[in-house]
Amino acid sequence: MTDAALSFVHRFEPATKAGASPLLLLHGTGGDENDLIPLGGMIAPGAALLSPRGKVLEGGMPRFFRRLREGVFDEDDVRARAAELAAFIAEARTVYGLAAPVAVGFSNGANIAAALLLTQPDVLAGAVLLRAMVPLAVPPAADLAGRRILLLSGAMDPIVPEDNAARLAGQLRAAGAALDHRTLPVGHGLSQADLTLARQWIEGPAHAVA
C-alpha cells in the first residue's frame, strides 16, 4: 500500500512471514517508492517492506540528498537528510509496529543508507549497500560494533571508483561493523549475483540489533 500520511511519501508492504527482519528500501536517482519493492520480495520473501521516496529533486528526479555534481555531495545536506530519514523510520516503526529495519539501498539510496549508518548508528539493524560510495569525507565517530553490512561494488562501475568504495569499507570497519565487501565483475547496474548474494546474506546469522 502507498501512504503519504507520514513525513515521507512511501509504500509499505506488511510481513507475511514471522521473524523476518523488515527491509528499508532506498531507491537510486530517478526512482521512487515502488522501484525496489520487487527486489525486496526476491531477497527477503515474506519480510515487511518500507520504501520511502527521496524528497530532493534533481532535474525532476527524486534523490535522497543534494549533490553539487556527479560524485560530489553537499555534505551538510547529507547530514540533514539522514537525520530527516531517521525521524521517518522512527515514525514508521511506531505506526507499523516494526523492529529496526535492514536497509537495502541502490546507488543514491545506498549512499544515504551509509550516511545513516555513520551519523545515526542506532537506526538500522544492518544494511545491504549496492554500489555505494563515501557520503561524508570525514564522518563522525560511530559505534557500529557487530552490525552486519554487505557492500557490493562493481569492478567496472563508471560512477563509483574502486578506491572510493574501498574508502567507505574502511570507514565502516573503523566504526566496528561486521562488513562483507565484495567487488563483482559488473558495472553500476544490478546483476543476478547481487540478488543472490543479498539473499544469502539476509538469510545468514541474526542481525546484531533487534
**pLDDT, tens digit, 9 for 90 and up, residues 132-154:** 999 999 999 999 998 999 999 99
Give the pLDDT confidence score for residue 3 in this predicted structure: 55
3-class state of residue 188 by DSSP: coil
User: What does the pLDDT read at residue 207?
Assistant: 43
157 is catalytic: yes
Let me know if domain 2-202 sits in CATH 3.40.47.10.
no
Yes or no: say if 209 and 176 are a contact pair by the CB < 8 Å rule: no
Could you tell me how far CA 121 lies from the centroid of its own chain? 13
- Tell me what pLDDT residue 209 has: 31
Which stretches in the chain have pLDDT values below 50?
207-210
Q: Is 22 helix (H, G, I), strand (E, B) or coil?
A: coil
H helices of 97-150, in order, are 108-119
Active site annotation includes 188 = yes
pTM given for the model: 0.95
Can you give the pLDDT at residue 146? 87
- Choose the catalytic residue: 21, 35, 157, 194: 157
Q: Which one of the listed residues 10, 27, 35, 107 is annotated catalytic?
A: 107
* CB-based contact 175:205 (threshold 8 Å): no
Domain boundaries, the chain: 2-202
Q: What pLDDT score was predicted for residue 107? A: 97
Taking alpha carbons only, the member of 140, 192, 190, 184 closest to residue 162 is: 184
